[in-house]
Chains A and B, each alone.
Chain A
Amino acid sequence: MMRSFIILAAASVLAACSSLKPYPSVAPENVVVKSAIESGSVLSSMRGAVHIHEVDASCHTSYVGTVKLDRPSIALGLPAERPSYLVFVFQGSSLFGGSTSSAGAGTVLKPRPGYRYEFAVSYKDNIYNVVLRESDPRRGASREVPRQELRGCSA
């Protein structure tokens, strides 16, 4: 189910921006986000970001911070063996103002110690995708990790 996906538009997005804060640096940096985001139009712009939340034992979330996806590759650290809820958002705006929109995808990630995680994030021609892969540097093995909803998470 895609209840973890929330798509908002206009004022709600603008209102939310006011309370955003940078995600703090956490060592080790076990997650890489590789993004390719295209607006698809000279009259509009598209920006990406990932909002990171802590998840407690009752699956309640607490906002920690936001990482702007303004570079093709960004590394960040998530605490191992503790679930985090990551919400990727794509926010578009018209150059002439008047309208903004935002689409997004969320997933719970509970990093395993020693493992590395890579998100491949894309937005092109109004179609977006978020794919997560987990790799074990010691064995060289890698697998795609299905998106996990917040509902039903097991912290």
Chain B
Amino acid sequence: MQTRVAFTVLCALLAGCAQQPQTAQEFREAIPGAFMGKVQTFEAKRPLAAVAKTFQARAPDCLNVSVRSVSQSSTSYQNILTVYKATVVNNPQKAELHLQRDFKSGVLVPGKVPPGGLYYVVADATPIDKSRTRIDIYGPSVGTDTLVRAINGWATGENLGCPDMTK
């Protein structure tokens, strides 16, 4: 968690006065060229409708969480409250999972924060054929391993568990 917060702050500082992505589409466009941004793609051997249904069932349940991170040393004290918000958008051609996070305390974010918080990860599911689905995940290249594995598990249907967002 500390690593991810530090990474976010670093990105924000490097971004300077740059405009934060205000929509999922702006986030998709920004990530490929962003410092430590990454697009991961994999295939799920399930139809889009099944993937979409699992996203709808699991994402709100697992990802609408609050994480409080407290660290203290002899010279510093840090208390960060992060509220995550998951949104699933389904239509016959595509299923989208948007994860935003809003730093309620402990982090100063330059630029305008979109409603719901900064975009953190966006996952798109699109059909390859009737029985297979392509998953594209846009997000940071570090600190999202557990989250990406969880989304992968939902997409494939092999693991419906929730990611421990403190990790």
Contact = CB atoms under 8 A, between A and B. Distances in A.
Interface in B23-65: 60-65
Nearest to A10: B70
A127 B72 contact: no
Q: Which of A3, A8, A92, A147 has the most chain B CB within a 10 Å cutoff?
A: A8
B64 A125 contact: no
A124 to B, nearest CB: 8
Interface range for B: 20 to 34
A142 to B, nearest CB: 18
Interface string A72-104: 000000000000000000101000000101110
Q: Chain B interface mostly helix, strand, loop or mixed?
A: mixed
Contacts of A126: 146, 149, 163-164, 167
A12 interface: yes
Interface string A1-31: 1110111111110000000000000000000
A129 interface: yes
B70 A5 contact: no
A103 to B, nearest CB: 4
Contacts of A5: 61-62, 64-65, 162
B105 interface: no
A99 B146 CA distance: 18
B47 to A, nearest CB: 22
A122 to B, nearest CB: 7
A3 B165 contact: no
Interface residues of A, number: 27
B161 A2 contact: no
A33 interface: no
Contact of B61 (A6, A92, A101, A147): A147
B161 A122 contact: yes
Contacts of B2: 99
Interface string B64-78: 111111111000000
A125 B68 contact: no
Contact of B164 (A1, A11, A103): A103
Given A9-B166, A101-B166, A2 B63 contact: yes
